Amino acid sequence: MKSFVLFVLVISIHLVYSANQNPGHLKPLGSVGSLINIPELHHEYPSVTKLLTYYIPKSVPTIFRQVLNNDNHYSIWQTDEQLESEVYGLSDTNIQVESFKLRQRVEMTFGKFLQQVRRGHVMFADDVPEVLQKYLTVPKPLQCETVLETFLSAVLIINHINTSPLLSNENNDHFHCILRGSQRMVLINTLQYPDVRKILAPEKRHQRGPPVNPDRVDFDLFPSLANIDYHIANLTSGDCLFIPNHWFFQERSLENTITIVYNIKHQQALNIDVNELKTCPEYDPTFTLDQIDWSVERHPQSFKDLIKNLVNTKADGYDKWQEMFSKHLSYDIASDPEASAMFEEFYGIVDVDGNGQVTTSEIEQINGIHQHHITDILYEMAKIINSKRKTSTPTPVKIEDEQSILNDNENDEHLHLQSYKTDL
């Protein structure tokens, strides 16, 4: 009996010592370890030339402190009351928001949303509504006509105190600007750490593992996250953070926060001839988002245009293609087994060599029966999705339904599917 007790004691001691001894184990992402403060500029953006010849090609994240403070309409974003009183018709504008209780998008007025977001059970993450576009000044380095051609989208995010999952910044660079509130940002350079990239963005869909919990990072499950550099930014209202292409990031909102994210096409920005920048005008404080021509090229309107755009921009793998098709169709393909199976069949045809990447040469090889088969698959997938959307369109949240949302205590999370209106 004594021998058995001694054996159990030895095993227990061994298990204790074999547990992960890293001080950051099961702690929030980027709270312990090699923490690097992101460099800063104060009260100014970089010049458009420096953005395109240094920050983007050299992949340098940088904080631009208090660059929004002098924008003409910056003050109206500081309280809900100012927004509703200054922006005519905003309170009655219908928007699609994310409900954490229902785990889907629901429709409500902007006024009702502002009441609900304070409780932390809904969030808004979508293209800037038209009614608000004239109250957002285009950042100085993006005002040049040549650079505007690389301007993909402007996304408004309004949320309560929360922690996002690890987010990817594939194919785009972006300016992450705080209109109200404060956030702590943690960035990881996946070009420097390819093993981390394989965990966070596996090339093959069957390689996908459990998600990283940013509040309790398990170094036993993700040992490659234990000894890397974490780049830290503490942002307050008026600050912008430049996040380069291929940097993963995680945001922690410390209070009710309003963020505007300006997405730039990375490859297209790299291809700009610097000589063209000599004709860029001086900064215009009256140049607002509503004055931008959001051309068809920015949001493909057909499957043919979408596929061409994905191939030309070298979109990375199955998951990225599925995400972009989901946005195009305003429908989460991954959440629907039937639509997902059809999309997998389509991708298996266009990925001729089966390596997980689709190239121009592979698209050019598709003809005859395969081309017709692809057309049939996409047509049937679109028809099924359209049918399901008609039978399960979320209804606007009624006043009597709102209490059920208030009672929900599920963890906050970002839902990334945006609603892009397209003709099927």
State pLDDT tens for residues 262-303: 999 898 899 899 998 988 888 999 999 999 976 544 444 467
State pLDDT tens for residues 313-334: 777 789 889 988 888 887 889 8
> Is pLDDT larger for residue 133 or for residue 413?
133
**Cα(405)–Cα(107) distance, integer angstroms:** 13
Whether 194 and 73 map to the same domain: the answer is yes
Whether 276 and 387 map to the same domain: the answer is no
Last residue in a domain, options 249, 278, 295: 295
The SS3 of residue 405 is helix
Q: Please check whether residue 364 is in contact with residue 327, taking contact to mean a CB–CB distance below 8 angstroms.
A: no
**How confident is the model at residue 284, as a pLDDT?**
94
Token pair recorded at residue 380: 């049937």
The SS3 of residue 407 is coil
Average per-residue pLDDT for the chain: 81
State pLDDT tens for residues 138-163: 999 999 988 998 888 899 999 998 87
**Cα(288)–Cα(134) distance, integer angstroms:** 5
Q: Please check whether residue 305 is in contact with residue 328, taking contact to mean a CB–CB distance below 8 angstroms.
A: no
Token pair recorded at residue 330: 């305003």
Whether 355 and 290 map to the same domain: the answer is no
Q: Is residue 303 part of a domain?
A: yes
In the predicted model, what is the mean pLDDT of residues 240-247? 95
State pLDDT tens for residues 187-207: 999 999 988 888 877 665 555
Helices 337-350 and 317-329: crossing angle in degrees, nearest 10, is: 120
**Cα(148)–Cα(406) distance, integer angstroms:** 41
**3-state DSSP: the chain helix, strand, coil percent, rounded to 5?**
40, 20, 40
Q: Is residue 413 part of a domain?
A: no
**How confident is the model at residue 407, as a pLDDT?**
43
**How confident is the model at residue 257, as a pLDDT?**
95
**How confident is the model at residue 86, as a pLDDT?**
96
> pLDDT band for position 67 (50/70/90)?
very high
Whether 147 and 212 map to the same domain: the answer is yes
Q: Is residue 320 part of a domain?
A: yes
Residue 345, pLDDT above cutoff 70: yes
Which of 34, 354, 63, 66 is CA-nearest to residue 226? 34
* Residue 26's CATH number: 2.60.120.650
Residue 397, pLDDT above cutoff 60: no
Residue 15, pLDDT above cutoff 50: no
Q: Indicate the number of domains in the chain.
A: 2
Whether 343 and 228 map to the same domain: the answer is no
Whether 58 and 164 map to the same domain: the answer is yes
Whether 192 and 312 map to the same domain: the answer is no
**How confident is the model at residue 395, as a pLDDT?**
42
> Is pLDDT larger for residue 335 or for residue 3?
335
Residue 419, pLDDT above cutoff 90: no
Whether 316 and 261 map to the same domain: the answer is no
Q: Is residue 81 part of a domain?
A: yes
Domain region containing 314: 299-393
Whether 264 and 314 map to the same domain: the answer is no
Residue 24, pLDDT above cutoff 90: no
Whether 231 and 136 map to the same domain: the answer is yes
Q: Is residue 402 part of a domain?
A: no
Q: Is the pTM of this model over 0.85?
A: no
Token pair recorded at residue 140: 């100085």
Q: Is residue 421 part of a domain?
A: no
Whether 304 and 291 map to the same domain: the answer is no
Q: Is residue 383 part of a domain?
A: yes
Whether 139 and 177 map to the same domain: the answer is yes
For 54, half-sphere exposure in the C-beta direction (CA atoms, 13 angstrom radius) is 9
Q: Is residue 191 part of a domain?
A: yes
